[in-house]
Amino acid sequence: MGQAIGQSLTFGVGVALSPFSIIAVVLMLVTARARVNGPVFVVGWFFGLAVVGAIVLLVAPDAADHAGRPKTWVSVLKLVLGALLVLVALKNWRGRPHEGDEVATPRWMGAIDRFTALKAFGAGAVVTAANPKNALLAVGAAAAIAQAGIPGGEQAVAYAVFAAVATISVAAPVVIFFAMGDRAAALLDELKRWMAAHNAVIMAVLCLVIGVKLIGDAISGFST
């Protein structure tokens, strides 16, 4: 199980570095429903990851052959995921804002102050499972765990560790909010501004690095 957890941690860090998701939870923490919607958004985020992982692990519970080598479909999946992540990286790099440009945020963020708890939960789940970068990384983590050839219970634990790591970044602002109270406002606002300004570059570099790693793993799998 340790190997499976180790293989998935890179993907967890990749999902955690999701600037717009961090911006979304920060925006929720400055609304009248902050004490409810902030934590509920984090729960929704974790739930979205859990759904993706459950689907992959149920469809492909064992991705290793009797010799412990990855099955061919795993290498094909990694190759496809890696190529898609490289494309996402190129798209983000080409769309990065230049000096003086105003950074656009998703339209739905403008309605965050009117979110109910249910909408906050749904937003958390959607920005995880429906976000191309996050979905690709979650599938990659689940495939890496399935490839380890461990029992279903251990697969679930390994994926839970991945999801916990992936959730740290959106949970951190909530922890800061409850720990610091009114003093958290300035810190969270600065975090929001920095994330918005550097979102495209962060995503480009992150997706490129993980995409190339997946392509390399796929090539290695084909050669064994």
- Above pLDDT 90, what percent of the chain? 24
Residue 117, pLDDT > 80, answer yes
Quickly list DSSP for 18-44. -HHHHHHHHHHTTSTTHHHHHHHHHHH
Q: Residue 222: its pLDDT value, please?
A: 75
Of residues 203 and 179, more confidently modeled: 179
52-111 pLDDT, tens per residue?
A: 888 888 877 565 555 556 677 778 888 998 899 899 889 888 877 766 566 666 677 778
pLDDT for 193: 79
In 10 A of CB 216, how many CB atoms?
13
Q: Quick check: 161 pLDDT over 90?
A: yes
Whether residue 18 contacts residue 132, with contact meaning beta carbons closer than 8 Å, is answered with no
Three-state SS at 209: helix
Q: Average pLDDT, whole number, for the chain? A: 84
Closest CA to 30 of 139, 189, 175, 154: 189
pLDDT tens, 24-34? 898 888 888 98
- The 3-class secondary structure across 101-147, one letter per residue, is CCCCCCHHHHHHHHCCHHHHHHHHHHHHHCCHHHHHHHHHHHHHHHH
Q: What is the mean pLDDT of residues 156-160?
A: 91
Sign of CA dihedral 8, 14, 20, 23: positive
**Residue range 31-54, pLDDT digits in tens:** 889 899 999 999 999 999 999 888
CB of 78 within 8 A of CB of 10? no
Residue bearing the bigger pLDDT, 215 or 199: 215
CA dihedral 158, 163, 169, 171 (to 10 degrees): -110
Query: What contacts 7, CB < 8 A, 6 or more positions away?
Result: 141, 144, 145, 147, 148
The whole-angstrom separation of Cα 151 and Cα 146 is 9
% of the chain with per-residue pLDDT over 70 = 90
CB of 38 within 8 A of CB of 24?
A: no
Report the SS3 class of residue 70. strand
Q: Residue 129 above 90 pLDDT? A: no
pTM, to two decimals = 0.81
Whether 164 and 77 have beta carbons less than 8 Å apart is answered as: no
Per-residue confidence band for 172, with pLDDT thresholds at 50, 70 and 90: very high
Confidence at residue 62, expressed as pLDDT on a 0 to 100 scale: 61
pLDDT, position 68: 56
